[in-house]
C-alpha cells in the first residue's frame, strides 16, 4: 500500500551493481507507506528491467546531471509532506525509514540523517570505512548544525522547498550535502542525527579509493566552509583532537627530512603524541575487529590524516584562486555550454 504523504527518492548514476539491493531493502521497510521514485542520471542499464519487477516510478535526467540535480528532480512536483533520500549504493534496514520519519512526524526536527552501520566486511578498507562513518555519525545522537549527509536522510518537504533544495551546479556528488546543511541552519531548520537509521554501503573500497575520496571530500569541505563563511567546527569529522592529529601527521615527514638538524627526540615525541591522540578513536571505532585490524586502522588513519592535511591546503588554495578570479574560476562547479 502506498500513500502520497511520503516520497522516497533514489538517485542513480552507474548503479547497476547495487541498485536492486537498494530498491529491495527500501521496499522491505516496516511501519511506513510511501511512493518510490528512481532517478536515472545515466549509465544504468538495469533500471528498465527493475521497473517491470518492482513498484517504482522512474524519472530520467539529461544524463550525469549530478547528485544535486538528480535528487531535486525526484523530489520536485510532489504534493506530500516528507521526502526521503537514499543513495543507490546503500542497503537500509527494515526499520530505517520509520526511524528517520519519527522525529519529523513528532515535530522534533525538520530534517534527519542516518548513518552506515558498524559491521565487518570482507574487505579491510570497507570495514574501516563503515566503522569510521558509524563512529563519526552514529556516536553522537542529537542536533547538528551547518552539516548534512544525504546518503540516508529525510526532510520536511516544505522546508526542502523553502531552501530551494540541493545546489545543482556542483559536479558529481559531495559539496551539495554540506551546502544544504548550511542552508537549513541559516533558515532555522533543525537537523537531527538518528543513530537507529542505519544502512550498509554496498560499494567496496580500496586503499586508492579511500585516498581519493578523502582528498576530494576534504577539499570540498574546506572550500564550502570558507565560501559560506561557516566555522569548520560544525563538521562532524573535525574535532580539536582531529586538527592536532592532522598537524602531527603532516609534520612528521618534515621532521624526518630534517632529522640531522632536529635529532630523533622530536620525531619520537611526534609519534608518541599522535598515538595518544588517536588511541581512543581507534579503540572506540574499531573495537571488536582484533588487534591486527586495529593496528592496521591506526596506520591507515595516519596516512589519511596526511591526506586531510593536503586537502586543507588544496581547499584553501581553490578558495583563494576563486577569490582573485571572481566569476572566472569556480571549483567543483559543473561546466555548462
DSSP string, 263-320: -HHHHHHHHHHHHHHHHHHHHHHHTTS-HHHHHHHHHHHHHHHHHHHHHHHHHHHHHH
What pLDDT, on the 0 to 100 scale, is given for residue 311? 95
What pLDDT, on the 0 to 100 scale, is given for residue 195? 84
Longest Cα–Cα distance of the chain, Å, equals 73
Q: How many CA atoms lie within 13 A of 14 on its CB side?
A: 7
Q: Report residue 223 CA to chain centroid gap.
A: 16
Phi, psi angles (nearest 5°) of residue 115: -165, 165
Asked whether the beta carbons of 8 and 32 are under 8 A apart, the reply is no
Question: How far is the C-alpha of 15 from the C-alpha of 333, rounded, in Å?
Answer: 23
Asked whether the beta carbons of 85 and 124 are under 8 A apart, the reply is no
**Is the predicted pLDDT of residue 335 greater than 70, yes or no?**
no
**Is the predicted pLDDT of residue 299 greater than 90, yes or no?**
yes
Proportion of the chain above pLDDT 90, given as a percent: 68
Q: Scan for cell 566569476, then name that residue.
A: 327
Torsion of CA 173, 72, 90, 109, to 10 degrees: 110
Q: Tens digit of pLDDT for each residue in 58-105?
A: 999 987 888 999 999 999 989 999 999 999 999 999 999 999 999 999
Binned at pLDDT 50, 70 and 90, residue 3 comes out as very low
Strands 111-116 and 191-201: parallel
Query: What is the pTM for the complete model shown?
Result: 0.90
Asked whether the beta carbons of 136 and 237 are under 8 A apart, the reply is yes
Mean pLDDT of 303-327: 91
Q: Tens digit of pLDDT for each residue in 170-219?
A: 876 678 888 999 999 999 999 999 988 999 999 888 999 999 999 998 99
By CB atoms closer than 10 A (0-12, 13-18, 19+), residue 45 is exposed
What pLDDT, on the 0 to 100 scale, is given for residue 66? 87
Distances (CA, A) of 311 to 54, 130, 330: 42, 21, 17
Query: Helix and strand tally (H, E) in the chain?
Result: 12, 9
What pLDDT, on the 0 to 100 scale, is given for residue 29? 97
**Which structural domains are found in the chain, ordered by start?**
6-204 (3.90.550.10), 206-337 (no CATH)
Which residues, other chains included, contact 35 with Cβ-Cβ below 8 Å and sequence gap of 6+? 2, 3, 4, 6, 7, 8, 57
What pLDDT, on the 0 to 100 scale, is given for residue 259? 84
Amino acid at each position: 500500500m502506498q500513500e502520497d504523504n511520503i516520497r522516497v527518492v533514489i538517485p542513480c548514476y552507474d548503479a547497476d551493481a547495487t541498485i536492486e539491493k537498494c530498491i529491495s531493502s527500501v521496499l522491505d521497510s516496516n511501519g511506513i507507506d510511501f511512493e518510490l521514485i528512481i532517478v536515472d542520471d545515466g549509465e544504468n542499464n538495469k533500471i528498465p528491467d527493475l521497473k517491470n519487477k518492482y513498484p517504482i516510478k522512474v524519472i530520467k535526467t539529461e544524463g550525469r546531471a549530478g547528485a544535486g540535480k538528480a535528487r531535486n528532480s525526484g523530489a520536485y512536483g510532489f504534493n506530500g509532506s516528507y521526502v526521503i533520500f537514499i543513495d543507490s549504493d546503500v542497503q537500509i534496514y527494515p526499520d530505517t525509514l520509520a526511524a528517520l520519519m519519527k522525529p519529523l512526524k513528532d515535530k522534533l526536527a525538520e530534517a534527519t540523517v542516518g548513518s552506515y552501520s558498524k559491521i565487518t566486511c570482507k574487505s579491510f578498507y570497507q570495514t574501516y570505512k563503515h566503522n569510521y562513518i558509524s563512529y563519526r555519525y552514529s556516536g553522537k545522537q542529537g542536533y547538528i548544525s551547518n552539516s548534512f549527509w544525504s546518503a540516508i536522510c529525510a526532510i520536511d518537504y516544505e522546508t526542502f522547498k523553502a531552501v530551494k533544495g540541493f545546489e545543482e551546479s556542483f559536479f558529481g556528488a559531495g559539496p551539495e550535502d554540506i551546502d544544504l546543511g548550511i542552508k537549513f541552519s541559516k533558515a532555522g531548520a533543525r537537523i537531527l542525527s538518528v543513530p537507529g537509521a542505519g544502512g550498509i554501503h554496498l560499494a567496496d573500497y580500496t586503499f586508492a579509493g579511500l585516498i581519493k575520496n578523502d582528498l576530494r571530500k576534504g577539499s570540498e569541505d574546506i572550500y564550502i566552509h570558507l565560501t559560506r563563511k561557516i566555522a569548520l567546527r560544525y563538521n562532524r569529522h573535525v574535532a580539536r583532537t582531529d586538527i592536532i592529529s592532522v598537524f602531527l601527521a603532516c609534520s612528521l615527514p618534515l621532521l624526518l627530512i630534517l632529522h640531522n638538524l632536529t635529532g630523533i627526540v622530536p620525531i619520537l615525541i611526534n609519534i608518541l603524541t599522535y598515538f595518544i591522540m588517536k588511541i581512543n578513536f581507534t579503540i572506540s571505532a574499531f573495537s571488536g575487529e582484533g588487534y591486527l585490524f586495529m593496528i592496521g586502522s591506526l596506520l591507515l588513519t595516519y596516512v589519511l590524516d596526511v591526506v586531510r592535511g593536503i586537502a586543507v591546503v588544496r581547499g584553501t588554495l581553490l578558495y583563494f584562486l576563486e577569490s582573485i578570479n571572481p566569476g572566472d574560476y569556480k571549483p567543483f562547479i559543473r561546466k555548462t555550454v
